């Protein structure tokens, strides 16, 4: 029995024989050609065929895994039309007088290397995509129409899987995906989640395990090859438990989140990045209630540019395919420190220079994010949410800056969508002036993590204070109720995106208070849904 530790990309337990996906990368030969003009034409014809195939794949994926996941093949179609890519192929054919297969393969490798070296995780994940489209064109040029496929059922082990390979697999024959490379942010991982198949990435399985019995533990991210009988027994039992749990919860999918008396509550997901969207959709999220955008900044060594941010926000909006996506503006400071912001050391950071306080005093940083958000809003249903508001003037100032950004974008001929603007209610001050704040915005979302910290004067980072901490403290619950009343009086909707929103002991209380939306982590969506449906 040998255990290989990888990274969990999607939970679940699979037991079966290992099927090694034969990559058999075609060796691309290089030869001299006499007529570069004709060779360039040959390349263009193959490119057109590839575009047709990708359109077919897009339609197949749309039918089988939904529009959001199918979007990757649109990305491939766009990559195929990328002028830098085409120029590079044509240039190699013309200057080196070589065959199109070689030029495409070289270009694919070069671009893949460039993407892989980028800091941005999303761009790194595009490395596999550019290789995928290049391999497709090479296959077409060589007169082969399809990629190698395995018909055996089992745990699929591969170096990496291209999204097109993933979607073409026969779902009933793949018990789990295990890749030696790949990232949890790749579209393949997203597709695995959408297909509801346990998935592991970055798992160092050696060659030569094909045919051996194995256990893929998608929760712990490990592959156990040739398990002993005791381990097998343990995992068989776990598998049964999981099957039963999922069966019960899966029955709720697609059902409206409505109480017995017919009141509907919106059930959205909290995410930290694009990589979480698969899990959100998988668990029936009706939208994204909190995208903590600061993770984008935390993952970077320098300020993410407008372009970089726009791409991420756009991708989330597109993947959610028209469902509401609430993106919270930068909330750093306190426990979330970022070196390049050069923030001073503070005596009392939780009460210090953080979130909107930084954005309103470093307006350029804020404007860059707002421009990216409003630009991305043309691609879906984006709402913008402002954290840590304590005073009316703050939201009025935010609205002034937003108006300027919108005007600037309009002058540049950039179209934006209809963006709802909301605030987080996470300070007692915001609760007390919620009636006035409600006149300024389209919605409220209650951040119970900070609201509890500030109401009870208990540092959320300090575990020594655990004995004094009461998540269900009546003061906090009354604050929530006050906020709901103020919001409804002004005719706006109100949700909860703090952890308390997923506390099923309180679901009934929240429903009774009239909370319109709950935003919880993806894995908790179905348990909360179950609770809402059970409410009177
Ligand atoms: C909150 O404070 O409840 C919240 C959702 O924000 P964060 O946990 O990111 O501070
Ligand atoms: Mg907060």
| pTM greater than 0.95 | no
Q: Is the pLDDT of residue 2 over 60?
A: yes
Give the pLDDT mean for 367-391. Answer: 97
Position 164 confidence tier, pLDDT thresholds 50, 70, 90: low
Q: Is 507 in the pocket of ligand 1 (CB under 6 A)?
A: no
Give the pLDDT score at 460. 83
Per domain, the residue ranges of the chain are: 2-23+148-233, 36-142, 253-534
- Residue with the bigger pLDDT between 201 and 188: it is 201
Q: Is the pLDDT of residue 188 over 70?
A: no
Which region, left, alpha or beta, applies to residue 5 given φ > 0 means left and ψ of -120 to 50 means alpha? beta
Query: 199-201 and 493-496: which strand pairing?
Result: unpaired
230-244, 425-439, 442-456: which has the minimum mean pLDDT? 230-244
Q: Is 497 in the pocket of ligand 1 (CB under 6 A)?
A: yes
Ligand 1, pocket-test mutation among 497, 500, 503, 506, most atoms within 8 A of CB: 497
Backbone phi, then psi, for 531, in 5-degree steps? -65, -45
Q: Is 275 in the pocket of ligand 1 (CB under 6 A)?
A: no
Q: Highest mean pLDDT: which of 24-28, 146-150, 195-199?
A: 195-199
Q: Is the pLDDT of residue 114 over 80?
A: yes
| Distance (Å) from CA 311 to ligand 2 centroid | 25
**Are the folds of 36-142 and 253-534 the same?**
no
Q: Is the pLDDT of residue 256 over 80?
A: yes
Backbone phi, then psi, for 251, in 5-degree steps? -60, -20
What is the overall mean pLDDT for the chain? 89
Cα 435 from Cα 416, distance rounded (Å): 29
Spatial strand order of the sheet with 222-225 comes to 2-5, 222-225, 213-217, 13-20, 154-158, 174-179, 199-201, 7-10
Q: Is the pLDDT of residue 47 over 60?
A: yes
Q: Is the pLDDT of residue 26 over 60?
A: no
Q: Is the pLDDT of residue 425 over 60?
A: yes
Give residue-wise pLDDT tens across range 195-212: 668 899 888 888 788 999
Q: Is 426 in the pocket of ligand 1 (CB under 6 A)?
A: yes
283-297, 313-327, 457-471: which has the minimum mean pLDDT? 457-471
| Distance (Å) from CA 169 to ligand 2 centroid | 42
Helix, strand, coil: what percent of the chain each, to 5? 50, 15, 30
Give the pLDDT score at 176. 93
Q: Is 294 in the pocket of ligand 1 (CB under 6 A)?
A: no
| Distance (Å) from CA 530 to ligand 1 centroid | 24
Q: Is the pLDDT of residue 96 over 80?
A: yes
Relative to the CA of 426, which ligand 1 atom is closest? 2
Domain spanning 2-23+148-233 has what CATH number?
3.50.30.10
- Known active-site residue 187: yes
> Which residue's CA is the nearest one to ligand 1's atom 4?
447
Domain 36-142 -> CATH class: mainly alpha
Position 65 confidence tier, pLDDT thresholds 50, 70, 90: low
- Residue with the bigger pLDDT between 358 and 521: it is 358
DSSP letter at 202 equals S
Give the pLDDT score at 367. 98
- Known active-site residue 472: no
Q: Residues of the chain with pLDDT > 70: what percent?
A: 92
The listed CATH number (3.40.50.2300, 3.40.50.261, 2.40.50.150, 3.20.20.60) that belongs to domain 253-534: 3.20.20.60
From 32, 416, 473, 497, the catalytic residue: 497
86-90, 243-247, 344-348: which has the minimum mean pLDDT? 243-247
């Amino acid at each position: 029995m040998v255990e290989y530790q990888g990274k969990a990309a999607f939970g679940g337990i699979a037991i079966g024989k290992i099927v090694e996906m034969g990559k058999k990368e075609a060796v691309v030969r290089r030869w001299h050609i006499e007529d570069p003009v004709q060779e360039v034409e040959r390349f263009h014809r193959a490119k057109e065929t590839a575009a047709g195939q990708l359109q077919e794949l897009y339609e197949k994926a749309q039918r089988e895994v939904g529009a959001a996941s199918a979007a990757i093949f649109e990305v491939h179609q766009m990559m195929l039309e990328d002028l830098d890519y085409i120029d590079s192929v044509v240039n190699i054919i013309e200057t080196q007088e070589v065959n199109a297969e070689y030029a495409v393969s070289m270009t694919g490798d070069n671009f893949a290397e460039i993407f892989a070296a980028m800091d941005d995780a999303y761009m790194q994940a595009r490395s596999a995509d550019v290789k995928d489209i290049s391999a497709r064109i090479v296959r077409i040029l060589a007169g082969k129409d399809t990629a190698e496929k395995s018909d055996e059922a089992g745990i699929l082990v591969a170096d990496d899987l291209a999204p097109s390979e993933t979607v073409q697999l026969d779902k009933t024959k793949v018990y789990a995906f295990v890749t030696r490379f790949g990232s949890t942010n790749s579209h393949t991982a997203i597709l695995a989640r959408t297909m509801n198949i346990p998935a592991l990435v970055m798992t160092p399985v050696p060659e030569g395990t094909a045919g051996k019995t194995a256990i893929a533990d998608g929760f712990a991210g490990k592959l156990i090859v040739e398990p002993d009988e005791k381990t097998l027994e343990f995992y068989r039992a776990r598998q049964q438990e999981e099957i039963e749990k999922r069966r019960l919860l899966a029955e709720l999918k697609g059902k409206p989140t409505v109480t017995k008396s017919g009141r509907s509550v919106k059930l959205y997901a909290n995410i930290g990045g694009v990589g979480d969207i698969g899990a959100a959709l998988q668990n029936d999220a009706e939208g994204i209630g909190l995208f903590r955008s600061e993770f984008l900044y935390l993952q970077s060594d320098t300020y993410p540019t407008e372009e970089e941010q726009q791409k991420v926000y756009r991708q989330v909006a597109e993947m959610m395919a028209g469902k509401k996506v609430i993106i919270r503006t930068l909330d750093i400071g306190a426990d979330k420190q970022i070196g390049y912001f050069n923030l001073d050391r503070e005596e009392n950071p939780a009460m210090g220079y953080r979130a909107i306080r930084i954005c309103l005093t470093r307006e350029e940083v804020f404007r860059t994010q707002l421009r990216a958000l409003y630009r991305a809003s043309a691609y879906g249903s984006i709402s913008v949410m402002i954290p840590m508001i304590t005073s009316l003037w703050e939201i009025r100032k935010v609205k002034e800056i937003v108006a300027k950004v919108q005007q600037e974008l309009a002058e540049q001929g950039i179209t934006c969508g209809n963006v709802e603007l909301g605030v987080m209610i996470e300070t007692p001050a915001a609760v007390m002036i919620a009636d006035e704040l409600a006149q300024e915005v389209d919605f409220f979302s209650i951040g119970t993590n900070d609201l509890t910290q500030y109401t009870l004067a208990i540092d959320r980072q300090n575990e020594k204070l655990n004995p004094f901490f009461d998540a269900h403290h009546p003061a906090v619950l009354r604050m929530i109720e006050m906020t709901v009343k103020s919001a409804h009086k002004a005719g706006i909707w109100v949700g909860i995106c703090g952890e308390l929103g997923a506390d099923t002991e309180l679901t009934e209380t929240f429903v009774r208070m009239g909370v319109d939306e709950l935003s919880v982590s993806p894995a908790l969506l179905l348990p909360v849904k179950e609770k809402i449906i059970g409410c009177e």
